[in-house]
Amino acid sequence: MGKFIVTIDGPAGSGKSTIAKLLAKKDDFVHINSGAVYRALAYVLGENLGIEKLSNLNLELSLKEKSIRVFCDGDDITDRLQSEEIGRVASKIAQIGFVRDYVNKKVRDLAKNGKFVIDGRDCGTVIFPHANVKIFLVANLNERAKRRALETGEKFGDVLRIIKKRDKEDSERDIAPLVKPKEAYEVDTTSKSIEEVYKEVKCIIRRVYDNRNR
């Protein structure tokens, strides 16, 4: 079948990973979470990372059960990356050009042949500008903070403050800011259930997929 790429971009807590995981589980997509790579760099190198440290880093992405695992020096660090503090540092280092080049290459190298769903901030604009389907998820800030607080077990107020700052940094940075790709389908997830959003996204993908194979 060659390659079929779906990108899902949007701010923190908009539902990107949840929907991408469902597409992996139910529809046989491989899910690549590009934010996990920024988080891994934040976790291992911190906010003062330099180009030399980055080029000496032994970071590997591998696919397991249709999603990615991140290894550093052979150690699987994937489950240690979820806190809002790591998200905050990730958002800082994501403003650096050589960091973005590093992540883009890692992600592109993985998505070679097959059906992929890739989520992040610039997947449809920069990493895969020729993706088959581009989705842009949005939701209001309170709802997003509520979801993230539930997910990480952190305090709502703290999460709200950090994701508000991350939103600003992610959408105002000079390189690859968070913007809706021109051809993207926007879905507002604020008052929808996961199942409703999944169905809506699936329907969009189905239309494009069927048209392509007609």
Residues lying near ligand C5P in the complex (CB under 6 A): 12, 34-35, 38-39, 87, 90-91, 94, 120-123, 166, 170
User: Closer CB to ligand C5P, residue 45 or residue 209?
Assistant: 45
Q: Minimal distance in Å, beta carbon 93 to ligand C5P?
A: 8
Calculate ∠ Cα 104-109-114, nearest 5°.
115
Q: Minimal distance in Å, beta carbon 94 to ligand C5P?
A: 3
Task: Tell me the CA distances in angstroms from 126 to 8, 86, 103, 132, 173, one per residue in order.
Answer: 12, 23, 11, 14, 14
Handedness of CA 188, 189, 193, 198 (dihedral sign): positive
Q: Minimal distance in Å, beta carbon 112 to ligand C5P?
A: 18
Q: Minimal distance in Å, beta carbon 56 to ligand C5P?
A: 22
DSSP 168-194: HHHHH-SSS-----TTPEEEE-TT--H
Calculate ∠ Cα 103-15-186, nearest 5°.
90
User: Closer CB to ligand C5P, residue 184 or residue 209?
Assistant: 184
108-137 per-residue burial string, b: 16 or more CB within 10 A, e: under 16? eebbeeebbbbbbbbbbbbbbeebbbbbbb
User: Closer CB to ligand C5P, residue 15 or residue 87?
Assistant: 87
Q: Minimal distance in Å, beta carbon 162 to ligand C5P?
A: 10
User: Closer CB to ligand C5P, residue 45 or residue 123?
Assistant: 123
Q: CB neighbours of 83 closer than 8 A, spacing ≥ 6?
A: 152, 154
User: Closer CB to ligand C5P, residue 33 or residue 209?
Assistant: 33
User: Closer CB to ligand C5P, residue 11 or residue 198?
Assistant: 11
Q: Minimal distance in Å, beta carbon 92 to ligand C5P?
A: 8
Q: In angstroms, what is the C-alpha Rg of the chain?
A: 16
